[in-house]
């Protein structure tokens, strides 16, 4: 392989993207050419520096901690009620009281969800066969009535963050699809579909019972899983 | 720069005659030995001499094996021939089988594409990467980092810590790990039977089995099933559609289990003293644990007290059923 050809392929070589045959040829040239070795070393150092930089996409990390803080006001017990069983509560159950920020936020919930949708539209139409095509449809949380905001409504801003992070990560993953083994792509897509089904189910249940703290946590947890899986996938 | 490159080649070992490789270099007891071989196999074995001894068979078409110092490391590299200048056709090269004896306290760093990697009796850190070849590490290395994209990764060692990963290959970690085991896969199964101070496993669809962890076990999958077995179990197990099985008894740190649609089985020792708090949207609770005291805190919450109720198990499912039994 010539010096010029090697220089052309060095980027792919240092990032590990060359097929085996070409990689061997580049390595053979590197053994003979000090200038190319120096160039390869400089590119490798540059990649290492780039890898050490903070990631441009900062997906939400375990947003539930913040969400929980918002929707768990001062403890007040609530009778469990409807069962024939003798009831022993796990812990004092909080009566829902709207945190101040929720009341303020209630009017903007639709705007936030709309903004999220706009962001996704801005990112372009989804291809029918891409993983992004499996993103569940966002149905806006029931609007919070003054003084009676729901856990679902309180979750909406966080959901918008999740969805934005997911859309960005999926765009990165889509761009890298060709570099992944077909079997790996199939596995990732099948499992993203499983997560999306879980999101749809949790969301539908929460829409029917928008005060449920448990369902809100379940939905948050599934979103966490999706973000984490995508984070790992784009690093493959 | 060209002169320096030429000098490096001149210092390299000459091409092996008739495909046999037999190269020796004196080297300090510590430092790093790095081995590069695209295809074939690499076996690195520690010994008690301050010498690196490279033996094996050069693959047909491979040019030579270089053994040289590069930036303070001793590098063993299989060199394949360059194609004719200006001609991009691929050169037919067969795999080279290498056995590299190294001072046992050396740090070992192996890189291959399809070559199988085996590292034995090395006491320094071991790092091994392959694209499609399997990686196996045994002995008493200070720490192990082993990785393959599609090959199997096996670590059976007495070591300080282990990081093992594969995309589609199986990953197994056995032996004794003084610190923590971290393992990852996408579709390959993961088995951790090593005694350790903590385990963290992430898999997408691969089955995960963890036993003998003395510390916390943190396991997460999407569709892969999870099984955690042992005494005084502690940790967090999380799946979307995979089943989760907990076998043994529960430590003071407790266990948190989350599954969306996968079923959860708690096969707990009859002597277990724990409180199981369960939240489910549409899943059911089946109890075969004799003496369990069950109360229902709300439409979606159950509380099960076993023995004195000391340790805490928290189970959350959306639609997955929960089965509790004694063993």
Specify whether the CB–CB gap between A174 and A132 falls below 8 A.
yes
Q: Using only the alpha carbons of chain B, give its radius of gyration.
A: 25
Q: Is A62 on the interface with B (CB under 8 A)?
A: no
SS3 B39: coil
| Interface touch A232/B205, C-beta < 8 Å | no
pLDDT of residue A147: 56
A24 contact B CB<8A = yes
CB spacing of B91 vs A89 below 8 angstroms? no
Q: CB distance B2–A201 less than 8 Å?
A: no
The single-letter DSSP state of residue A210 is T
Please report, for residues A116, B4, B54, B170, B180, the alpha-carbon distance to residue B146 in angstroms, rounded to integers and kept in the order given. 41, 33, 22, 12, 14
B240 vs A188, A194, A215: nearest CB: A194
Chain A neighbors of B223, CB-CB under 8 A: 190-191, 194
CA-nearest residue to A20 within chain B is B113
Instruction: Please choose, from the candidates B89, B81, B79, B86, the residue with its C-alpha nearest in 3D space to the C-alpha of residue B35.
Output: B79
pTM recorded for the entire structure? 0.72
Given this model, what pLDDT does residue B322 score? 95
Residues B205, A190: C-beta atoms closer than 8 Å: yes
**Number of Cβ atoms within 10 Å of the Cβ of B277:** 19
Q: What is the pLDDT of residue B71?
A: 85
Q: Which token pair is B266?
A: 């708690």
A217 to chain B: which residues are within 8 Å by CB? 316
Question: Touching check for A115 and chain B: CB below 8 Å?
Answer: no
Chain A residue nearest residue B169, CA to CA: A184
pLDDT in tens, A55-88: 444 444 455 555 555 555 443 333 333 333 333 3
Cβ–Cβ gap B86/A82 under 8 Å = no
Q: Which residues of B touch A83 (CB under 8 A)?
A: 296, 298-299
Task: Quote the CA–CA distance of A185 and B169 in Å, as a whole number.
Answer: 15
Q: By three-state DSSP, how is residue B47 classified?
A: strand
Q: Residue B5: its pLDDT value, please?
A: 37
pLDDT tens across the length of chain A (236 residues): 766 667 767 766 766 667 667 777 777 777 777 667 767 666 665 555 444 433 444 444 455 555 555 555 443 333 333 333 333 333 333 333 333 333 333 323 222 333 332 233 222 333 333 333 334 444 555 555 555 578 888 888 889 989 999 999 999 999 988 888 899 999 999 999 999 999 999 999 999 999 888 899 999 999 999 999 999 898 88
Cα dist. B28→B8, B35, B49, B100, B163 in Å? 20, 17, 9, 15, 27
Q: Are the Cβ atoms of A181 and B81 closer than 8 angstroms? A: no
CA angle B9/B12/B17 to nearest 5° reads: 115
Tokens of B323: 């089965």
Count how many Cα atoms sit within 13 Å of the Cα of residue A72 in the half-sphere of its side chain.
14
On chain A, the residues whose CB falls within 8 A of the CB of B220 are 225, 228
Q: Are B271 and B308 in contact (CB under 8 A)?
A: no
What is the four-CA torsion angle of B291, B297, B302, B305, rounded to 10 degrees? -30
| pLDDT tens per residue, range B248-269 | 999 989 999 999 999 999 999 9
Which chain B positions have a beta carbon within 8 Å of A24's beta carbon?
38, 80, 90-91, 93
Instruction: Give the per-residue pLDDT at A223.
Output: 94
Identify the pLDDT of residue B297: 84
The pLDDT value recorded for residue A15 is: 63
**Residue A170 belongs to what H/E stretch?**
helix A151-176
The answer to whether A85 contacts B296, with C-beta atoms less than 8 Å apart, is yes
Quote the CA–CA distance of B184 and A232 in Å, as a whole number.
Answer: 10
Q: Mutation test of the interface with chain B: which of A9, A22, A31, choosing the one with the most B Cβ atoms within 10 A?
A: A31
CA dihedral A81, A84, A87, A90 (to 10 degrees): -80
How many CB atoms sit inside 10 A of residue A36's CB? 22
> Is B170:B187 a contact under the CB 8 Å cutoff?
no
Query: Inter-chain contact B318–A198, Cβ cutoff 8 Å?
Result: yes
Q: Is A192 helix (H, G, I), strand (E, B) or coil?
A: helix
Q: HEC profile for B159-226?
A: ECCEEEEECCCCEEEEEEECCEEEEEECCCCEEECCEEEEEEEEECCCCEEEECEEEEEEEECCCCCE
Spans of chain B below 50 pLDDT:
1-18, 84-85
Of B261, B297, B299, the CB nearest to A90: B297
């Amino acid at each position: 392989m010539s010096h010029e050809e090697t220089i052309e392929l060095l980027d792919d070589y240092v990032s590990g993207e060359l097929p085996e045959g070409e990689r061997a040829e580049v390595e053979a040239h590197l053994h003979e050419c000090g200038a190319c070795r120096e160039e390869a070393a400089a590119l490798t150092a540059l990649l290492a520096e780039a890898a050490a930089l903070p990631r441009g996409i900062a997906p939400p990390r375990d947003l539930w901690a913040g969400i929980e803080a918002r929707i768990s006001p001062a403890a007040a017990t609530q009778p469990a009620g409807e069962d024939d069983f003798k009831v022993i509560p796990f812990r004092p159950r909080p009566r829902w009281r709207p945190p101040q920020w929720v009341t303020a936020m209630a009017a903007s919930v639709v705007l936030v969800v709309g903004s999220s949708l706009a962001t996704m539209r801005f990112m372009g139409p989804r291809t029918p066969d891409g993983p992004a095509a499996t993103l569940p449809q966002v149905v806006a949380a029931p609007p919070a009535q003054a003084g009676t905001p729901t856990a679902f409504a309180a979750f909406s801003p966080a959901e918008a963050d999740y969805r934005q992070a997911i859309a960005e990560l999926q765009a990165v993953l889509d761009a890298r699809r060709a570099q992944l083994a077909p079997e790996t792509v199939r596995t990732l897509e099948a499992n993203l579909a499983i997560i999306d089904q879980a999101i749809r189910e949790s969301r539908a249940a929460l829409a029917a019972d928008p005060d449920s703290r448990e369902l809100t946590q379940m939905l948050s947890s599934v979103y966490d899983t999706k973000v984490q899986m995508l984070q790992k996938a784009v690093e493959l | 720069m060209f002169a320096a490159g030429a000098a490096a080649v001149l210092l390299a070992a000459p091409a092996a005659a008739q495909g046999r490789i037999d190269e020796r270099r004196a080297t300090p007891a510590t430092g790093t030995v790095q081995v590069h071989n695209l295809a074939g196999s690499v076996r690195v074995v520690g010994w008690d001499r301050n010498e690196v001894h490279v033996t094996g068979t050069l693959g047909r078409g491979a040019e030579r094996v270089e053994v040289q110092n590069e930036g303070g490391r001793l590098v063993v590299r299989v060199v394949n021939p360059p194609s004719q200048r200006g001609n991009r056709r691929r050169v037919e090269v067969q795999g080279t089988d290498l056995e590299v004896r190294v001072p046992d306290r050396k740090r070992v760093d192996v890189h291959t594409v399809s070559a199988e990697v085996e590292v034995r009796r090395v006491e320094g850190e071991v790092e091994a990467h392959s694209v499609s070849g399997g990686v196996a590490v045994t002995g008493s290395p200070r720490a192990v980092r082993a990785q393959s994209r599609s090959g199997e990764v096996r670590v059976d060692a007495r070591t300080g810590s282990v990081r093992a990963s594969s995309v589609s290959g199986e990953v197994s970690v056995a032996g004794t790990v003084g610190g923590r085991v971290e393992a990852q896969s996408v579709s390959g199964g993961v088995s951790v039977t090593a005694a350790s101070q903590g385990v963290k496993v992430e898999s997408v669809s691969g089955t995960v089995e963890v036993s003998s962890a003395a510390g916390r076990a943190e396991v997460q999958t999407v569709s892969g099933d999870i099984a955690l077995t042992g005494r005084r179990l502690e940790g967090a197990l999380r799946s979307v559609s995979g089943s989760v099985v907990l076998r043994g008894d529960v430590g003071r740190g407790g266990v948190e289990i989350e599954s969306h649609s996968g079923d959860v089985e708690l096969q707990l020792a009859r002597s277990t003293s724990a409180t199981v708090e369960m939240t489910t949207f549409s899943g059911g609770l089946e109890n075969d644990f004799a003496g369990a005291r069950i109360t229902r805190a709300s439409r979606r919450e159950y509380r099960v007290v076993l023995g004195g109720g000391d340790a805490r198990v928290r189970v959350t499912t959306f639609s997955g059923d929960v089965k509790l039994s004694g063993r």
